[in-house]
Structure formats: structure tokens, C-alpha cells
């Protein structure tokens, strides 16, 4: 079991780095910036992801009286926007794909600076190191993304050849990470089902989706994107902070469980939005 526990941070590091590199190799600066010229929509997106969703996480944790580690895990997801799955969900929902790409990167970049600032405010009784959080997110997420964007701009043929391999590594490392976390924390995973954690996660996803839809603008294609982008949180950033800043494994377990439940709900929901 100790060997498996030592493999968890390796799988996490591999997942985060490969995800950021693959994302950067598939994008250009123009693809990121152009859809974000609608200032009103961008501001509403920030309100949805960095004001209303963290408040929803805090409110649900208090309402359902979650154990503190589960509440912290839910808050980490609530404060971490920019899920790398968003473009895929937007594609399934036939949403505005350009806006999905720009929004994903913008939310992810802001998350890196936002989490270290707000966690000490939202968790006054919990000791966190904002500098350590910011440093970890910067080097594990923003630096790989910037390097990959530069490679794609300078050597597009190399980027095109490398991206499929990184996507496979990202997918496999995510599967390995989830399995390792479940096996090494099986008691904590089972405990989530008896504490209201799953219910809190389901309600959180529903509230976040509704908030995104409400603030997503007058057109259906942007509403679909913001609804999905607000409901699907940034698991990578949440795991980095949860694993490095909190000793209780229940925090990371809650992040993984809610993030996976969210993806399982939002994938078929994306298809249903098209039929609706």
C-alpha cells in the first residue's frame, strides 16, 4: 500500500503536466483572445465562476453540515475554474467552440492567482500557504501551457505530432490517478457516500450549471458553454492545492469524487442540450 501511495503524486504530476502541454500544443494566442472581446460576457463569466460558485460550495457545505475536509474539497472545486474538458463538452452541445476555448484558458489562468488569495479568506480556521499554492499552480500549469503555446507558434508540425501522445498520457495518467486514489483511500471514498458528500456534489453541479446558463448571454450557443464551463470545475488545480496544502486525504477524495460525478453527468447532458 505504501508503494501505491508514493505513486499518487507521480500520477498527479503526470496528469497535470501532460494536460497543460497538450492544451497548449492545440491552441494559438489568437484562438484564445478573439472570443474574449465581448467584455460583458467575460465579466459575467468571472462572476459565475469566481463569486457565485464558491459561495454555492460554502452554502451547500453549511446547509448539509459536511465534515470539514469534504467541505474544503467542495470549496476547492468551487473556486477553481477552467476545466480542460470544456471544449469537448461544448462540441457535444454544439455550443460556441471558440468561446469555450477562450473561456477555458482565461478561467484557468485566473484560477492560478485566485486560489491563493481567496482560500485564506474562505477558510479562516485552516492554515494554508498562499505563496506555496501560487508557486505550485504557476509552475505546474501556467509554465507548461506557455511553453506549449510557444512551441505550437514556432514549430506547428512538431506540436501536431506530439499532441496525440500527450493526450494519451493525460488520459492514462488520469485513469491511474483515480484508481490509485480510490485504492489507497477506499475507506474515505466509501465514507463520502454516508456523509451527504455526493448529494452536495450533485446539488453543486446543478446550481453551477443554472448560474452559468442564467449569465451566459442572450444566445443559446454561449449559454450552453458558460453553463457547462461553470458546472465542470478544474480538477487538476483542485488536486494540486488539495494534495499539497491539506494533510487530510478526504479533501482530495472529495475533489475526485465530485469532479468525476460532474463529468459523468455533463457528458450526456451536453448531448441532451442539442436534442432540446
pTM (2 decimals)?
0.84
More confident residue, 76 or 8: 76
Task: Output the CA torsion sign for 199, 55, 143, 239.
Answer: negative
Query: Which pLDDT value is given to residue 276?
Result: 59
Cell numbers representing residue 151 in the block: 512551441
pLDDT in tens, 84-143: 778 878 878 988 888 988 898 899 889 988 988 888 888 877 667 778 878 888 888 889
pLDDT in tens, 164-177: 999 899 889 888 88
Rounded to the nearest 5°, which phi and psi values hold at 196?
90, 0
Query: Which pLDDT value is given to residue 208?
Result: 97
Query: Which pLDDT value is given to residue 154?
Result: 94
Cell numbers representing residue 3 in the block: 508503494
pLDDT at 152 over 90: yes
Q: How far is CA 53 from CA 40, 85, 171, 211, in A?
A: 19, 18, 27, 8
DSSP string, 24-52: HHT--HHHHHGGGG-HHHHHHHHHIIIII
pLDDT in tens, 190-226: 777 777 888 999 999 999 999 999 999 888 989 999 9
Measured distance CA(199)–CA(167) in Å, rounded:
32
pLDDT at 161 over 80: yes
pLDDT in tens, 69-80: 999 999 999 999
Task: Output the CA torsion sign for 148, 150, 156, 158.
Answer: negative
Query: Which pLDDT value is given to residue 274?
Result: 83
Measured distance CA(9)–CA(27) in Å, rounded:
27
Measured distance CA(72)–CA(160) in Å, rounded:
39
pLDDT at 252 over 80: yes
pLDDT in tens, 34-83: 878 889 999 999 999 999 999 999 999 999 999 999 999 999 999 999 88
Q: What is the dihedral of CA 249, 261, 109, 60, to 10 degrees?
A: -70
Q: Quote the percentage of the chain above a pLDDT of 70.
A: 97
Contacts of 193 (CB under 8 A, 6+ apart): none
pLDDT in tens, 20-30: 898 889 888 88
Cell numbers representing residue 62 in the block: 453549511
Query: Which pLDDT value is given to residue 26?
Result: 85
Q: Scanning the structure block, which residue is given the C-alpha cell 462572476?
A: 47
Query: Which pLDDT value is given to residue 1?
Result: 67
Amino acid at each position: 500500500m505504501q508503494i501505491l501511495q508514493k505513486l499518487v503524486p507521480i500520477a498527479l504530476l503526470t496528469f497535470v503536466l501532460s494536460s497543460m502541454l497538450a492544451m497548449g500544443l492545440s491552441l494559438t494566442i489568437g484562438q484564445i483572445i478573439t472570443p474574449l472581446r465581448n467584455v460583458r460576457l467575460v465579466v459575467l463569466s468571472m462572476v459565475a465562476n469566481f463569486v457565485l460558485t464558491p459561495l454555492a460550495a460554502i452554502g451547500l457545505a453549511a446547509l448539509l453540515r459536511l465534515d470539514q475536509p469534504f467541505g474544503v474539497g467542495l470549496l476547492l472545486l468551487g473556486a477553481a475554474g477552467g476545466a480542460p474538458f470544456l471544449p469537448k463538452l461544448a462540441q457535444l452541445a454544439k455550443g460556441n467552440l471558440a468561446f469555450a476555448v477562450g473561456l477555458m484558458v482565461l478561467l484557468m489562468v485566473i484560477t492560478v492567482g485566485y486560489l491563493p488569495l481567496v482560500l485564506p479568506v474562505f477558510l479562516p480556521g485552516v492554515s494554508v500557504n498562499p505563496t506555496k499554492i501560487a508557486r505550485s499552480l504557476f509552475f505546474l500549469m501556467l509554465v507548461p501551457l506557455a511553453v506549449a503555446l510557444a512551441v505550437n507558434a514556432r514549430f506547428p508540425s512538431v506540436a501536431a505530432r506530439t499532441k496525440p501522445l500527450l493526450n494519451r498520457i493525460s488520459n492514462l495518467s488520469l485513469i491511474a490517478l483515480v484508481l490509485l486514489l480510490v485504492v489507497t483511500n477506499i475507506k474515505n471514498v466509501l465514507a463520502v457516500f454516508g456523509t451527504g458528500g455526493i448529494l452536495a456534489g450533485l446539488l453543486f453541479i446543478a446550481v453551477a450549471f443554472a448560474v452559468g446558463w442564467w449569465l451566459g448571454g442572450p444566445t443559446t450557443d454561449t449559454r450552453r458553454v458558460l453553463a457547462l464551463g461553470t458546472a465542470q470545475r478544474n480538477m487538476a488545480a483542485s488536486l494540486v492545492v488539495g494534495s499539497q496544502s491539506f494533510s487530510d486525504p478526504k479533501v482530495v477524495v472529495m475533489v475526485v469524487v465530485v469532479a468525476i460525478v460532474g463529468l459523468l453527468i455533463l457528458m450526456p447532458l451536453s448531448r441532451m442540450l442539442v436534442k432540446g
